[in-house]
């Protein structure tokens, strides 16, 4: 329809939707877009990029990314009870294209009046949300895609899944992805950790020896980058304060040169591009960037649903599963 579009995360529910949205952006050169992963406008990943380009880590080998989510129900079954639909809720419209089911509302004493679906808890339900990964990976793994620009993963493999993916996403999982070498960047591996095991212990990477020696622990959300010559950690969901570890290396190495332009702000980028003050690509998390990134993220959920390792070619097609069939083609609206 030619309307500028700011879309919250997760940008899409599936890999295919992300691919279609990316293609639509390419076909509409006057439309400005932005995904709501506000950390992309921050300095964190830019600083990490500058450290890497300065040679502080050597050749990048691994990224470890983790989150303390979900903080909503996951790993459960469909509710066994039903409730009257509130007058304020259009349940048919809320269901949208997902399979219809009876409404189940909040139980007495539920946290903040949240039911199994509405409000908020839909995140953990497979038909509506994308779990912890959909809620947080667009923030936490953003720096990986911004720095490495890797294209599609070569493989995505579930290492740990606490529950079968049925009505809800699992309580916790660890997934490994491998990426091909591209341009000046080498091939590398990523690990995604979310949720907790059946004993309530959070899934996280091993604490590096460099942190143990300083008596430090990993933050509840963050990234660990491992190279041939050093390691770096960013704390929080938005690549905050990336620093070499141990901290003494920061003093030894010094501050890297600034290589990347800083952002005036995530919303400011979008509005400046909408008004024509800047090119449309000035809105940095536009769909040509956030679309492929979202497709790569949703691939992790897809391998969790399949319960096995998936292999992909360079254009993002699964090549090791004969059950994958041709889709219905592009979605069309006749209005």
Range 145-160 average pLDDT: 96
Q: What is the pLDDT of residues 265-292, one digit of tens each?
A: 999 999 999 999 999 999 999 999 999 9
The average pLDDT across 2-31 equals 95
DSSP for residue 142 = H
CA distance to 5, 64, 104, 186, 317, per residue, from 195 (Å): 32, 15, 25, 30, 28
109 confidence band (pLDDT: 50, 70, 90): confident
Region for 131 from its dihedrals, namely left if φ exceeds 0, alpha if ψ lies in -120 to 50, beta otherwise = left
111 pLDDT tier (thresholds 50, 70, 90): confident
Give the up-direction half-sphere exposure of residue 145: CA atoms within 13 A in the CB hemisphere: 25
**What is the band of 332 on the pLDDT scale with cuts at 50, 70, 90?**
low
User: What are the structural domains, with CATH classification, of the chain?
Assistant: 5-311 (3.30.360.10)
User: What are the tens digits of pLDDT across the range 240-273?
Assistant: 889 999 999 999 999 999 999 999 999 999 999 9
- Residue 181 has a pLDDT of 96
Burial of 236 per CB tally in 10 Å (0-12, 13-18, 19+): middle
* pLDDT at site 229: 97
Work out the percent of the chain whose per-residue pLDDT is above 90: 90
Helix (H) or strand (E) holding 51: helix 44-53
Cα 21 from Cα 17, distance rounded (Å): 6
Note the pLDDT tens digit of each residue in 287-321. 999 999 999 999 999 999 999 999 999 988 889 98
In 55-77, which positions are buried (b, 16+ CB within 10 angstroms) versus exposed (e)? ebbeebeebbbbbbbbebbbbee
Give the rounded distance of the alpha carbon of 46 from its chain centre: 18
Token digits for 138? 């667009």
């Amino acid at each position: 329809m030619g309307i500028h579009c700011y879309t919250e995360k997760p940008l899409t529910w599936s890999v295919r939707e992300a691919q279609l949205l990316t293609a639509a952006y390419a076909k509409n050169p006057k439309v400005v877009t932005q995904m709501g992963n506000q950390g992309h406008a921050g300095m964190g990943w830019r600083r990490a990029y500058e450290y890497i380009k300065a040679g502080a880590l050597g050749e990048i080998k691994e990224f470890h990314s983790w989150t303390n989510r979900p903080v909503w129900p996951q790993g459960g079954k469909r509710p066994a009870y039903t409730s009257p639909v509130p007058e304020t809720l259009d349940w048919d419209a809320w269901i949208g294209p997902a399979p219809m089911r009876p409404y189940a509302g909040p139980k007495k004493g539920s946290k903040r009046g949240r039911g199994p679906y509405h409000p908020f808890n839909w995140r953990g339900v497979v038909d509506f949300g994308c779990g912890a990964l959909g809620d947080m990976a667009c923030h936490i793994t953003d720096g990986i895609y911004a720095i490495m620009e890797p294209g599609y993963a070569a493989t995505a493999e579930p290492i740990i899944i606490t529950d079968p993916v049925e009505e809800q996403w699992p309580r916790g999982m660890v997934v490994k992805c491998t990426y091909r070498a591209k341009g000046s960047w080498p091939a590398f591996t990523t690990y995604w950790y979310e949720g907790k095991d059946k004993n309530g212990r959070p899934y996280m990477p091993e604490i590096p020896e460099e942190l143990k020696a300083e008596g430090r622990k990993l933050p509840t959300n963050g990234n660990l980058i491992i190279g041939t010559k050093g390691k770096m950690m960013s704390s929080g969901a938005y690549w905050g304060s990336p620093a070499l570890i141990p901290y003494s290396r920061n003093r030894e190495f010094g501050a890297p040169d600034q290589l990347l332009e800083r952002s005036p702000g995530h919303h400011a980028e979008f509005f400046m591009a909408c008004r024509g003050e800047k090119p449309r690509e000035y809105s940095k998390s536009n769909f040509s960037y956030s679309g492929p990134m979202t497709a790569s993220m949703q691939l992790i959920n897809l391998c969790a649903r399949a319960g096995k390792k998936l292999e992909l070619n360079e254009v993002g097609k699964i090549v090791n599963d004969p059950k994958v069939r041709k889709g219905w083609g592009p979605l069309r609206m006749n209005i």
